[in-house]
Structure formats: structure tokens, C-alpha cells
Amino acid sequence: MGQDRAGRLRLPRRAELDRPRHRTAGTRPETPRRHETRTIPIPPDLAGLLRAHIKKYGTTPDGRIFQTARGGIIQDSAYTAVWASARAGALTPAQCRSPLGRRPYVLRHAAVSLWLNSGVPATEVARRAGHGVAVLLKIYAHCIDGQADAANQRITDALTTPAHRAAT
């Protein structure tokens, strides 16, 4: 973890940030790939928040950003408790009883859907999410909504010649 020459924040791959892998009967444990990185651009505001957190709390020797008070790995039960408390504080009682944000992982789906509906090209969304474009569209195509007018305008703009624009 650190910064590259351009000042971009470099984080370990997801496998290195995740909680430890538990072995299920009949399966082989997943082995994280060491020292492998991929660049994921994030908005400057988020980069600033991460930098401030790292400056204040540091990282573990193996590069994890979030840790227990003693530097250990945060257990599932702690994530669950904190998430439940955050949901209760942010949502109405009716929303808390609904599936809305029941698991932290749904935030990933919400983010990908937001990016797609904001007009971020599928290739860029796939890169940021760590998907291939085909997988991204298979999973999220149903989330893309309300862009027909903008798409029609982009196509019209692309087909309109400079001479035609000048004449109108």
C-alpha cells in the first residue's frame, strides 16, 4: 500500500483486504496472490477520506486499512453488529424490516447501478468493479433505466455534420 508517483493511492488487491478464507469441507482454500495490484480510480473526495483515515490510524504491517483496536483482523460478527447499528440509525423502522441494505455487499451493487445510470461507460464501470463487460451487462443490464432520451441525443449529435449544425 502507498502512493504511486502521480500521488494515486495504491491499495492491496481485494484478496489481501478481505477477512481470512475459511475452508469448507471438500474445497481448497483460496490463496491470495501476493504483491499483485490493479489500479482502480476513485473519486478525489473518497481518496481524501482514505488518506485521512490512514494518516490517523495507519495500516497493519500487512497493509490492511481496517483493523481491531489491537491490530487484528475484524471478525464477521463485528461487521454484522456495526452494520446493523448503522442501518438502524440511517433507516426508518419500516426500511429496517425490509431487505434494503440488509448486507453491506449490496452497497457494491448500488454503486455499480449508480455508475451505469449516471452514464459512465460500461467498459469503465466493469474495470472499476473488477468485472468483464459481458459479466457486468449480464448482471446489471436490468438496472440501466431512463437513458433513452440522452442516448438518442448522443446519436443525433454524432450523425449531425458540422455543416448541418452551422445551417441550423
Domain residue spans of the chain: 1-19+36-74, 105-168
Query: What is the C-alpha separation between 161 and 168, in angstroms, rounded?
Result: 11
Instruction: State percent of the chain over pLDDT 90.
Output: 22
Inform me whether the pLDDT recorded for 24 exceeds 60. no
Q: Is the CB of residue 91 less than 8 Å from the CB of residue 115?
A: no
Partners of residue 9 on adjacent β-strands: 3
Q: Which residues contact 147 (CB under 8 A, 6 or more apart)?
A: 117, 119
Give the three-state DSSP class for 61.
coil
Which residue would you say has higher pLDDT here, 57 or 161? Answer: 57
Let me know: does 65 contact 17? Beta carbons within 8 Å: yes
As a whole number of angstroms, the distance between CA 113 and CA 128 comes to 12
> Of 68 and 34, which is predicted with more confidence?
68
d(CA 114, CA 133): 16
Query: Considering the entire predicted model, what is its pTM?
Result: 0.59
